[in-house]
Structure 1
């Protein structure tokens, strides 16, 4: 009966929106497959754009490097950058907080930095929909400096989702390891977990899938390549399942480093999402789920329709992709409903 519910829900989402290809995989923590279904040209091993799920890969590497003594969560950004480079990055009500930012502020999305990807009439996302765009890390920093921050670093219970936080974390990883981010990901995650279909592309010569925006197909290889630590990975449903289980089971790092009690509520436009140690938390049983379900969903979704979530209450893992940019809340609403059907 539960499998039929999953099947019916999947079909409903496919039919109600402009979804041209999709994949879903549900497993227990034991590795037993509960449900799997594909639509269009997708299958369990098809390349998909991980988009912001990449942030979990970046967070995992930060945790590994902390355990190896490369850094701490309390390290100030001045440990990695000259004051002149940081100056003007974080300005709130006329005061410059740039040199007070810490690694933890970036990881937990509590820096208060503006998000150039989503914010403004000429946001990076809007530009990327129109045409392919490559933005260097330095340009990311410069564009962020043009916008006022939303609050001081680590202010009360505030959090503001911004790709720049993870772009900086990715740059810090490269600085402390003296290796490219793609090599660090490969060494600490992909090779270790035998994720043979996952990679961080560094040029247009590598395969990068197209994504739909409504009924329009977009091919944006330069934008994917420059997204790196915040959204640049290419993966598959099978590999995503391996990773999400490894992340929360502690197969990559000591899971004690994941503070499962420390979550910050994101900006209203991200409702009902909270942010933790490199991942999202969606609380079940509230208004957004008609007061049905219990516990939390923890994991990440991506702007291209990808998702990877863990439901601890039922020890279930949900991964998949809708390959559709027009409806960014679609994967989260879908997974919430999947969790409500969980036996």
Structure 2
């Protein structure tokens, strides 16, 4: 990287953190071999400061699924009805009067092509409104019941369709527990944290764990019960240093067979509210030259963002990894926008 590019990265980070909406932030940029490394903090946030990963946790869940696939313990074509009592699953996907629930597969969940609704955003009593008012636990059974009371968006595996919904990964988390024989936190530890030496990344299981606060505008929100309930779809805590180690391993083939991973690069565009984001097998893809983008660049970003302002993306065209956190729930597009602009600045 040249000094000019480094200054561009710093300018972009400063522009985002100078916003009145941002109280703290952290950015770490590296290439694969670490010859280039840039770290910028704001508001007291540093390289080792903990933050809530939110939906970046889905990359951990994806990793476990791929490892279990490699071990021959499951198949992406497995129907989820093989893992759950029929009474639990029946009724979660009724579309145009037909119940497709027992036909849903692990692949449908991983690729977000199940058509299942998002209980966090949808419905009269959506969880998004509730979380701003109070902290609460929600069980897997509760989430399944909520899904059954909402309408799916399309028939599963409808060509070219994808709909982002946490429940897809909540179900995958339950399958990981059944297949591995470990609690989800233990599975993450065995398959990811220990092999990579991540000692400050963890899935929160009780309120004694350190669970960072998040911001909604300038309001501090501390929701340990909800974070604990989020599990496989969004319950992990990490820091920028360890998230960088993970994202390099995820896209570098250090955790699972690279050939298996290559089969995941089939992308479908997500719902309109998700902007320019496509979804592959367990991760996001953002084309930088799409007609829906305000920016025009080359190549693509792959990785994941979180609703709390967290981001972890790889830009293959320039061999750059962007990880960090803007800690702001009020605008979920922020981590996408900063990642795109950083990639655009790498000329």
TM-score normalized by the length of structure 2: 0.97
Does the 8 Å contact 1:160/1:267 carry over to 2?
Answer: yes
Q: 1:100 to 1:44 in 2, by over 3 A?
A: same
Does the 8 Å contact 2:305/2:335 carry over to 1?
Answer: yes
- Aligned-pair CA distance for 1:47: 0.5
Does the 8 Å contact 1:52/1:302 carry over to 2?
Answer: yes
1:67 pairs, out of 70, 83, 86, with 70
- Which residue does 1:284 correspond to in 2? 288
Q: SS of 2:30's equivalent?
A: strand
- Which residue does 2:232 correspond to in 1? 229
1:291, 1:58 → 2: CA distance? 31
- Which residue does 2:81 correspond to in 1? 78
Q: 1:5 to 1:77 in 2, by over 3 A?
A: same
Does the 8 Å contact 2:276/2:290 carry over to 1?
Answer: no
Q: Which string of whole-angstrom CA distances, capped at 9 and with x for unpartnered residues, describes residues 241-299 of structure 1?
A: 00100000000001222235400110011110000111000000233544521011000
1:231, 1:187 → 2: CA distance? 19
1:182, 1:14 → 2: CA distance? 33
- Which residue does 2:132 correspond to in 1? 129
Q: SS of 1:191's equivalent?
A: helix
1:261, 1:205 → 2: CA distance? 39
Runs of 4+ in structure 1 deviating by more than 3 angstroms, as ranges, are 287-291
1:150 pairs, out of 150, 153, 173, with 153
* Worse-superposed segment, 256-265 or 122-131: 256-265
Q: Which string of whole-angstrom CA distances, capped at 9 and with x for unpartnered residues, describes residues 193-244 of structure 1?
A: 0111100010001100000000100000000001000000000001110010
1:108 aligns with 2:111: yes
1:6 aligns with 2:5: no
1:329 aligns with 2:333: yes
Q: 1:277 to 1:17 in 2, by over 3 A?
A: farther
Alignment of 1:272-311 (within 5 A): 272-290=276-294, 292-311=296-315
- Aligned-pair CA distance for 1:33: 3.6
- Which residue does 2:33 correspond to in 1? 30
* Worse-superposed segment, 225-234 or 23-32: 23-32
- Which residue does 2:22 correspond to in 1? 19
Does the 8 Å contact 2:59/2:282 carry over to 1?
Answer: yes
1:273, 1:133 → 2: CA distance? 30
1:199 aligns with 2:206: no
Q: SS of 2:11's equivalent?
A: helix
1:83, 1:120 → 2: CA distance? 25
Does the 8 Å contact 1:3/1:34 carry over to 2?
Answer: no
Does the 8 Å contact 2:118/2:167 carry over to 1?
Answer: yes
TM-score normalized by the length of structure 1: 0.98
2:218, 2:159 → 1: CA distance? 42
2:151, 2:297 → 1: CA distance? 39
| Runs of 5+ consecutive residues of structure 2 not aligned to the other structure | none
Q: SS of 2:195's equivalent?
A: coil
* Cα root mean square deviation, aligned: 1.1
Alignment of 1:250-261 (within 5 A): 250-258=253-261, 259=263, 261=265
Does the 8 Å contact 2:265/2:281 carry over to 1?
Answer: no
Alignment of 1:160-239 (within 5 A): 160-239=163-242
| Runs of 5+ consecutive residues of structure 1 not aligned to the other structure | none
- For these two proteins, the number of residue pairs brought into alignment is 343
